[in-house]
Amino acid sequence: MNLSERLDNPIFRTIQSCASKLNLETYVIGGFVRDLLLNRPSKDIDFVCVGSGIELAKAVSKALNLKKEPVIFKNYGTAMISFKDQEFEFVGARKESYSRESRNPTVENGTLEDDQNRRDFTINALAIGLNNHNYGELIDPFNGVEDLRDHMIRTPLEPGVTFSDDPLRMMRAIRFASQLQFDIDGNTFGGIMDHVDRIEIVSQERITDELNKIILSLLPSYGFKLLFQSGLLKKVFPEMVDLHGVEVIRKKAHKDNFYHTLKVLDNVAEVSNDLWLRWAAILHDIAKPATKRFNDRVGWTFHGHEDKGARMVPHIFRRLKLPLNEHMKFVQKLVRLHLRPIALVKEEVTDSAVRRLLYETGEDVEELMKLCKADITSKDHNRVQKYLNNFARVEEKMIEVEKKDKVRNFQPIVTGELIMETFGVPPSRVVGDIKNEVREAILEGTIKNSEKEAIPFMIGIGERLGLVRIKDIV
């Protein structure tokens, strides 16, 4: 197969000419070639040459008149240049093997074939010649094109060899299967099952990167089912495996919370590409195993799983090396509040209940509602419709109350500073108590969040508590 027509980025011709001058056999290889054949967009491009990749990168950078020198990673023998928002990585062909106990590979110079041998999957070992004698020619020693056609992930060598070289590849196999909606060849999948323990030598950051890519794929449940079946999920995310299974007591069963969670995740994935909303779906019921009780009268209960789940979020984020910033807070908030809109479904729900939820969710109310709707996983179509209609009513109420009271971006009129100035008190507990009482009254609807109503109310509380007003505010 000759693909020269499809190499439309002018950099390929620049590289051909530099490689020819330096007399270096050069190929474009890996993800770019795979994505070209799949008609998928691909950002970064990898080149391999038989000789020094660093030398080639320097020559290309010069030919392109780039001001910035290539970034060189001497230990790995690679060099990278950035050009027009893309990154191009150059490396010398390698014969590489990783020793069992160390993450650092021993590297020797090799041929193109050696280099293709040590790659992770047949579909990632495809190369295209960039030399005068083979420009555009596809070099496919492991039938990667056939595997692309058959939608198959397969290692080029015995799976044990490929996975021992870099155990992260077990996660990558499942990530590519999930992203591309491919199968994993039986022998390759068996290799993963045999080597799951070796994932322990891989850094958490690399594992979590792959996990996030699985979560961001079109049908993330597929990737998670593969993780589960292979035994990798137990290794990298045991809390999720704990959701699996159904217990039956006196003919009463609860649902399998693992498959329920995956359905919620797929439902969220249909309406949002946001990684953190997807994490909220994964974690919304995470404390169900820990809060599960059986009660003779009502059957299975999971009281407080939303609060306990929210408390588990920071621990899980820390262990998975996910960021401990506002994303974590967002996930935690959604886990904590995911049952609240259901409580607002009742006909006679008061404005104050709606106001409280709006106040607690703030900016994230739409995202919370997406999660709640995704949480409806009943197979009974009529029931689903009924629940959705209920949520539509809750949303109407929210819009109504928000229009009236504007609590979503609630900025209290009565601040701590105002209380301290009014009564001449230092920062202390009483200041917090007054502030909370004013806020409660506003959320209850007893008073409005306006100067006219909130300030006299605050003064009344202070006086009741024996404070003396030293400054007139109104």
Binding site for ligand CTP (CB under 6 A): 30-31, 46, 119-120, 124, 166, 168-169, 172
Q: Is the Cβ of residue 176 or residue 258 nearer to ligand CTP in the bound state?
A: 176
Provide, rounded to whole angstroms, the least separation between the CB of residue 175 and ligand CTP: 8
Q: Is the Cβ of residue 120 or residue 185 nearer to ligand CTP in the bound state?
A: 120
Which residue has its beta carbon closest to ligand CTP? Answer: 31
Which residue type sits at 314?
P
Provide, rounded to whole angstroms, the least separation between the CB of residue 77 and ligand CTP: 14
Structure token digits, residue 162: 């490929």
Q: Which residues contact 465 (CB under 8 A, 6 or more apart)?
A: 430, 433, 434
For 81, the 3-state DSSP assignment is: strand
What are the contacts of 9-18 at 24+ separation with CB within 8 A?
Answer: 9/45, 11/45, 11/60, 11/64, 11/83, 11/88, 12/130, 14/60, 14/63, 14/64, 15/47, 15/56, 15/60, 15/130, 16/130, 16/131, 16/132, 16/135, 17/63, 18/56, 18/59, 18/60, 18/63
Q: Is the Cβ of residue 30 or residue 462 nearer to ligand CTP in the bound state?
A: 30
Provide, rounded to whole angstroms, the least separation between the CB of residue 363 and ligand CTP: 32
Q: Is the Cβ of residue 34 or residue 235 nearer to ligand CTP in the bound state?
A: 34
Q: Is the Cβ of residue 166 or residue 239 nearer to ligand CTP in the bound state?
A: 166
For 451, the 3-state DSSP assignment is: helix
Q: Is the Cβ of residue 47 or residue 276 nearer to ligand CTP in the bound state?
A: 47
Provide, rounded to whole angstroms, the least separation between the CB of residue 383 and ligand CTP: 40
Provide, rounded to whole angstroms, the least separation between the CB of residue 91 and ligand CTP: 9
What does the buried/exposed string (b/e) look like for 331-357 if buried means 16 or more CB atoms within 10 Å of the residue's CB? Answer: bbbbbbbbebbeebeeeeeeebbbbbb
Q: What is the DSSP letter of 70?
A: P
CA distances from 184 to 168, 209, 370 (A): 16, 20, 32
Provide, rounded to whole angstroms, the least separation between the CB of residue 124 and ligand CTP: 3
Q: Is the Cβ of residue 120 or residue 266 nearer to ligand CTP in the bound state?
A: 120
Provide, rounded to whole angstroms, the least separation between the CB of residue 119 and ligand CTP: 4
